[in-house]
Structure 1
Amino acid sequence: MKNFLWILFSSFVLVLFLGCMATTTSAGNVGADRNQLMIVSEEQMEQSANESYAQVIAEAKKSGTLNVDATTVARVRNVAKNLIAQVGAFREDALSWNWQVNVISDNTVNAWCMPGGKIVVYTGIIQSLNLTDSQLAAVMGHEIAHALREHSREQASSETLKNAGIAVVSSVAGLNETGNSLLGLAAQYTLTLPFSRSHETEADHIGTELMARAGYDPNEAVAVWEKMSALGGSQIPEIMSTHPSNTSRIKDLTEISKKVYPLYEAAKK
């Protein structure tokens, strides 16, 4: 029975994969040319992103935490400007996105870039890691890379595929609630988590190339994760996580930094 369900689910996945594969960016020097599953439309994702972004900004305004420190805001926006000028290396249309860059005063160690170029950096990540401009460029380049490659759209598409597949298999096989739960768990660890880890690695690669092209030393991307690792805190095993471990990330970024270093040298001339 288990083999039958897996074959049925796999067949459903294969049919959709074959019909909905695309790539959102040029490869760049780091080779970001993997085909992506895109079931959810770009318009749907951007509309959702705009609504979410507006809500975050409205809440920050209300709490008095939006763009409080003019010096920090200017610094973040200057780094963003330099990075955005290089996005054409991966996709020309992104040069004309409605980019917006804001800073929220909060202890959260995070930053993000929504589809369409809506960026928020939290002061927590700048202060906790004592980021230099180059290290800030590594963080922001990584987040911009997620938007360029439309990873959130790809993740939403894989979730849509997973849920649709579960519904199809459940209907045909007459699974009960427990069966549905188990199938969902299997799909999570064979689709959702591997995609998420690959997204993080891909964003590291593209982000490091962006910062190098913008004239920031790509070795500083390694320094960011050395600092992140030094913050401490428990980490769940990599196989169970949506993010690569700090150790594997540092090792990978060390190699990528070497690969894109000539771009940095050219930008500095």
Structure 2
Amino acid sequence: MKRTSIFLLLFLLIAACKTSPTGRKQLILLKDAEMNQLGEEAFQDLKSKVPIETSDSINRYVKCIVLAELAFTDDDTGVSSWEVVVFRDSSPNAFALPGGKIGVHTGILPIAKTPGQLAAVLGHEIGHVIARHGNERVSQNQVTQGGMEALGKIGKKEMAGILGGGAKYGVLLPFSRAHESEADLIGLKIMAKAGFDPTESVKLWENMSALGGNKPNELMSTHPSDATRMKNLNDNMQDALQLKREAELRGIVPNCKL
């Protein structure tokens, strides 16, 4: 890379430094509108390929929790309207895309056994969106792979791949773990402000941990370990419980039932 290109890249990287909702410094290279459009395209593609759950009761339940949490969500990413879709998939998972697109697998429902536990999942996904984690991960990926010119070549397939995997040890993996931990804490705050019991977030990860299976070492994983997540949540629990008490005093009591 020529010296002028290096200086230009460094200048752009410095100029692109933003701050997340928790005060963490971020590298953000794309405009919100660009990311939101990519998120919309990727979500439409998923909806055309993955079976969608049609149960009225399940959809009402999930959307009730999302709406309760969105009422206490501050978003400045330009989301015009949030969309949550329940996919008929047995894997215990949920995901978020820029533009306010949230996907929930039916397989998470036996794990997130209470409204509060599902609120922890959905608050986490909302956290990914409002903290621009998709933009940050795409930006990191493009810089790592060779520079600014690659930003103009991102499509829905490339973005889905970047958000879903392909991270590099020591560079993108720590950012992905930072994203997950940050989304946990943002979600903890959102669910508490919406009147859900924040201690249910820890119970969720107890349930996840009880699934067992072969999980990668935290240093080789894009996600923090279950134990790390529970510790981080517990470390921030007193503030979350205070938010829950304040919500109760204002009469905020969510009523979402399956």
* Global fold match (TM > 0.5): yes
**Unmatched 5+ residue regions in structure 2?**
150-166, 250-258
Task: Tell me whether 1:22 sits opposite 2:18 in the alignment.
Answer: yes
Paired with 1:165 and 1:48, the residues of 2 have a C-alpha distance of 20
- Partner deviation per Cα, 1:50-92 (whole Å, 9 max, x = no partner): 11111111224xxxx323211111000000000111112xx35
Which residue identity lines up with residue 268 of structure 1 in the other structure?
E
Mapped contact 1:145–1:203 kept (Cα < 8 A): yes
Equivalent in the alignment of 1:55: 45
Equivalent in the alignment of 1:148: 130
Paired with 1:59 and 1:158, the residues of 2 have a C-alpha distance of 28
Paired with 1:161 and 1:12, the residues of 2 have a C-alpha distance of 13
Return the match for 2:208 from 228, 250, 253: 228
Task: Tell me whether 1:74 sits opposite 2:60 in the alignment.
Answer: yes
Equivalent in the alignment of 2:162: none
Equivalent in the alignment of 1:217: 197
- Partner deviation per Cα, 1:115-154 (whole Å, 9 max, x = no partner): 1111111110112x15200000000000110000010110
Mapped contact 2:76–2:130 kept (Cα < 8 A): no
Return the match for 2:141 from 132, 156, 159: 159
Paired with 2:73 and 2:107, the residues of 1 have a C-alpha distance of 26
Q: What is the Cα deviation at residue 13 of structure 1?
A: 7.2
Where do residues 86-97 of structure 1 align in structure 2 (5 Å cutoff)?
A: 86-88=72-74, 91=75, 97=80
Taking a change above 3 Å as real, the CA distance of residues 12 and 255 of structure 1, as seen in their structure-2 partners, is farther
TM-score (norm 1): 0.78
Which residue identity lines up with residue 241 of structure 1 in the other structure?
S
**Unmatched 5+ residue regions in structure 1?**
26-31, 168-186
Task: Tell me whether 1:207 sits opposite 2:187 in the alignment.
Answer: yes
Paired with 1:133 and 1:247, the residues of 2 have a C-alpha distance of 22
Paired with 2:45 and 2:222, the residues of 1 have a C-alpha distance of 25
- Aligned-partner SS, 1:215: coil
Taking a change above 3 Å as real, the CA distance of residues 115 and 134 of structure 1, as seen in their structure-2 partners, is same
Taking a change above 3 Å as real, the CA distance of residues 224 and 13 of structure 1, as seen in their structure-2 partners, is farther
Mapped contact 1:221–1:253 kept (Cα < 8 A): yes
Equivalent in the alignment of 2:154: none
Paired with 2:242 and 2:9, the residues of 1 have a C-alpha distance of 41
Kindly tell me the number of residue pairs found equivalent between the two proteins: 229
Mapped contact 2:88–2:106 kept (Cα < 8 A): yes
Equivalent in the alignment of 1:177: none
Equivalent in the alignment of 1:198: 178
Aligned CA-pair RMSD: 2.4
Mapped contact 1:39–1:160 kept (Cα < 8 A): no
- Aligned-partner SS, 2:122: helix
Paired with 1:251 and 1:33, the residues of 2 have a C-alpha distance of 20
Equivalent in the alignment of 2:115: 133
- Aligned-partner SS, 1:235: coil
Paired with 1:143 and 1:130, the residues of 2 have a C-alpha distance of 14
Taking a change above 3 Å as real, the CA distance of residues 87 and 57 of structure 1, as seen in their structure-2 partners, is same
Paired with 1:92 and 1:166, the residues of 2 have a C-alpha distance of 25
Equivalent in the alignment of 1:178: none
TM-score (norm 2): 0.81
Mapped contact 1:12–1:165 kept (Cα < 8 A): no
- Aligned-partner SS, 2:236: helix
Q: What is the Cα deviation at residue 110 of structure 1?
A: 0.7
- Aligned-partner SS, 1:98: coil
User: Identical aligned pairs, as a percentage?
Assistant: 36
- Partner deviation per Cα, 1:194-231 (whole Å, 9 max, x = no partner): 11111111000000000000000111110110000000
Larger radius of gyration between Structure 1 and Structure 2: 1
Equivalent in the alignment of 1:106: 89
- Aligned-partner SS, 2:104: strand
Which residue identity lines up with residue 68 of structure 1 in the other structure?
T
Q: What is the Cα deviation at residue 108 of structure 1?
A: 1.6
